[in-house]
Amino acid sequence: MGRWLVASSPSQAVSLRLYCFPYAGAGASVYRDWQGILAPKVHVVALQLPGRETRWGESPFRRMPALIDAMVQKLPTDSLPFAFFGHSMGALIAFELARRLTALGRPGPVIVFASGCRAPHLPQRRPKMSMLPPDEFREAVRRMAGSSGEALDDPELFELLEPVLRADFELCDTYDFVPGPPLGCPVSAFGALDDPIVSPDEVEAWSFLAAGGFKLRLFPGGHLFVNEQREAVLQAVAQDLAERC
């Protein structure tokens, strides 16, 4: 599907496409195993942003509007229904892309999964990550990653990852919510009980942006519970998608 979209070949039984948007610093590989669990009716397509994995040599985006401008050109325009799943930064991307599709008069997602992310209309509580000095930045990223961030303890690896991490956090730090109509599709919001940066109340506030219905699920774990509680998260995703396949 080109540089932007990573997916295996769909089965003949597929009836819905699930676009998955990564969190800061991550690439399409974080969703590598999802296809095997959600198949055969769901075709998992992961977004590969510039600056990581197979697009390592490309400059990452630092502003949300420019990213959405580029992405809206990359989505297939066939008749297959689709859903969005995004974690943390990925949830903001999914939300803004869904709004852009509606503004263009194009079909939008049948459901948006907003995971590990405060509702976009709420003010940001944490300091701007992209502006932190090197040592503070590394410690803040490590704290957010929790048990999923052991690789960040390697100084050489972190030095390689820092530019794209800072770019992704700059994209989030400069994000400006523009009031508008709520999403017409349902929103299924996922949060974690011990997330150090996003509270359950901030996740529940997605309900104000969901005209098509809202569901909240809370999982054990920290900010990257999407990895720590993968089986439970996928079970919840599969349950909600089954109603639309």
Q: In tens digits, what is the pLDDT along the chain, a chain of 245 residues?
A: 689 999 988 888 999 999 999 999 999 999 999 999 998 999 999 999 999 999 999 999 999 999 999 999 999 889 999 999 999 999 999 999 999 999 999 999 999 999 999 999 999 887 788 989 988 898 888 888 876 666 677 888 888 889 999 999 999 999 999 999 999 999 999 999 999 999 999 999 999 999 999 999 999 999 999 999 999 999 999 999 998 87
Looking from the CA of 183 toward its CB, the CA atoms found within 13 Å total 34
Q: What pLDDT is stored for residue 124 in this prediction? A: 86
DSSP helix, strand, coil percent of the chain (3-state; round to 5): 40, 15, 40
- Which domains does the chain show, CATH number per domain? 5-123+178-242 (3.40.50.1820)
Q: Left if phi > 0, otherwise alpha if psi is -120 to 50, otherwise beta: which for 75?
A: beta
Orientation angle between helical segments 64-71 and 89-103, nearest 10 degrees: 60
| Cβ contacts of 136 within 8 Å, gap of 6 or more | none
Q: What pLDDT is stored for residue 173 in this prediction? A: 95
d(CA 157, CA 150): 11
Number of H helices, E strands in the chain: 8, 7
Q: What are phi and psi of 191, to 5 degrees?
A: -140, 175
Q: Which member of 9, 29, 59, 88 is catalytic?
A: 88
Q: What are phi and psi of 6, to 5 degrees?
A: -115, 125
Beta bridge partners of 25: none
207 is annotated as an active-site residue? no
| Cβ contacts of 184 within 8 Å, gap of 6 or more | 102, 108, 211, 212
Going along 82-186, which residue ranges are E strands? 82-87, 112-115
d(CA 220, CA 210): 24
Q: Is the peptide bond before 40 cis (omega within 30 degrees of 0)?
A: yes
Sort 244 into a burial class: Cβ within 10 Å, 0-12 / 13-18 / 19+: middle
pTM assigned to the model: 0.95
* The Cα angle at residue 228 between residues 222 and 232, in degrees rounded to 5: 110
